[in-house]
């Protein structure tokens, strides 16, 4: 998704330079106009805005707060935008540390999947200062369709976790419906045509319905990232007494799939989880 966002920034005429942990994976972006640097310091030292999108909280912490992290090298006044689905508490820590360095920080996780990233129609959830967000809105227009100010630092991440909790239940219901249709030998094309106009319609059905018809497990979003985000959500709820039973049950299925080597499959692969497990256990 980060690569697609870079492409859209380049298409809009912005000068983009960057650093990649695996430079070989950025060769196509270099051809498109990215100025690839050989270190974090070289990439961010003269930047006005820094975007990051990595795997999870541990990567974000190292990238920003590590001994050779971004905050060691940026100039005063730089605006830092982390688009990783990460931890609200870590977003607050980065925000406070950035202020001490004379910088501004926004936590801004995204929704919309690979398709949204490629088409520049992502939805962005922004946490931090509203006035900081206003400064970068022209740049965000290059990668997004919707940008919403959620509140103080960490609130962007909280909203992303809300999104993932909702998505987990939605996905599970859709996949289980198709699993039932497969079990009963229904015409999946007819099923999709029948349920799409009614109350069963949802973003997951729009994104993954055709993929399921084709038996396509390739990710729009890899299921291991959904597991990671749900774990972050439950960590936030620890000690609150609130138990999100539906999304927890969905996560258990996705965790099992990840443990069996399917972490890079698309979330729609849950459709075939039940029948495959029945075969294993029969």
User: Given this model, what pLDDT does residue 168 score?
Assistant: 94
- For the four alpha carbons of 39, 97, 110 and 9, in that order, the dihedral sign comes to negative
Q: Does 281 have pLDDT greater than 90?
A: no
User: Given this model, what pLDDT does residue 21 score?
Assistant: 86
Tokens encoding 155: 């609130």
CA atoms within 13 A on the CB side of 249: 8
Query: Per-residue confidence at 282, pLDDT binned at 50, 70, 90?
Result: low
User: Given this model, what pLDDT does residue 51 score?
Assistant: 96
Tokens encoding 174: 């859709």
- pTM recorded for the entire structure: 0.91
Tokens encoding 240: 């609150």
The DSSP line for the chain is: -HHHHHHHHHHTT---EE--SSGGGGHHHHHHT-EE-SSHHHHHTT-SEEEE--SSHHHHHHHHHSTT-GGGTPPTT-EEEE-S---HHHHHHHHHHHHHTT-EEEE--EESHHHHHHHT-EEEEEES-HHHHHHHHHHHTTTEEEEEEEESTTHHHHHHHHHHHHHHHHHHHHHHHHHHHHHTT--HHHHHHHHTTSTT--HHHHHHHHHHHTT----SSBHHHHHHHHHHHHHHHTTS----HHHHHHHHHHHHHIIIIITTSBGGGHHHHHHHHHHHH-
User: Given this model, what pLDDT does residue 49 score?
Assistant: 97
CA distance 108 to 53: 10
Q: What is the pLDDT of residues 130-140, one digit of tens each?
A: 999 999 999 99
Average pLDDT of the residues in 120-137: 97
Q: Does 239 have pLDDT greater than 70?
A: yes
Residues with catalytic function: 160
Q: What is the pLDDT of residues 6-29, one digit of tens each?
A: 999 999 999 999 998 888 889 999
Q: What percent of the chain has pLDDT over 70?
A: 100
């Amino acid at each position: 998704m980060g690569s697609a966002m870079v492409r859209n920034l380049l298409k809009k005429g912005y000068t983009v330079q960057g650093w990649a942990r695996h430079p070989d994976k950025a060769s196509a972006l270099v051809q498109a106009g990215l100025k690839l640097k050989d270190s974090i310091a070289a990439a961010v030292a003269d930047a006005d805005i820094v975007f990051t999108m990595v795997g999870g909280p541990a990567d974000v912490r190292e990238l920003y707060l590590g001994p050779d992290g971004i905050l060691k090298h940026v100039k005063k006044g730089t605006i830092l935008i982390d688009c990783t689905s990460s931890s609200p508490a870590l977003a607050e820590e980065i925000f406070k540390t950035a202020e001490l360095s004379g910088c501004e920080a926004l936590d801004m996780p995204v929704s919309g999947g690979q398709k949204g990233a490629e088409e520049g129609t992502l939805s962005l959830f922004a946490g931090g200062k509203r006035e900081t967000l206003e400064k970068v809105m022209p740049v965000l227009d290059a990668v997004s369709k919707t940008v919403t100010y959620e509140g103080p630092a960490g609130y962007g991440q909280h909203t992303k976790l809300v999104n993932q909790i909702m998505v987990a239940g939605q996905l599970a219901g859709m996949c289980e419906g198709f699993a039932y249709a497969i079990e009963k030998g229904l015409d999946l094309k007819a099923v999709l045509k029948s349920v799409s106009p009614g109350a069963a319609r949802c973003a997951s059905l729009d994104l993954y319905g055709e993929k399921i018809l084709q038996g396509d497990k390739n990710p729009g979003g890899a299921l291991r990232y959904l597991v990671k985000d749900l774990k972050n959500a439950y960590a936030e709820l620890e000690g609150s007494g609130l138990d999100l039973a539906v999304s927890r049950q969905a996560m258990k299925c996705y965790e099992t799939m990840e443990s069996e080597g399917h972490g890079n499959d698309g979330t729609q692969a849950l459709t075939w989880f039940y029948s495959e497990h029945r075969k294993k256990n029969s």
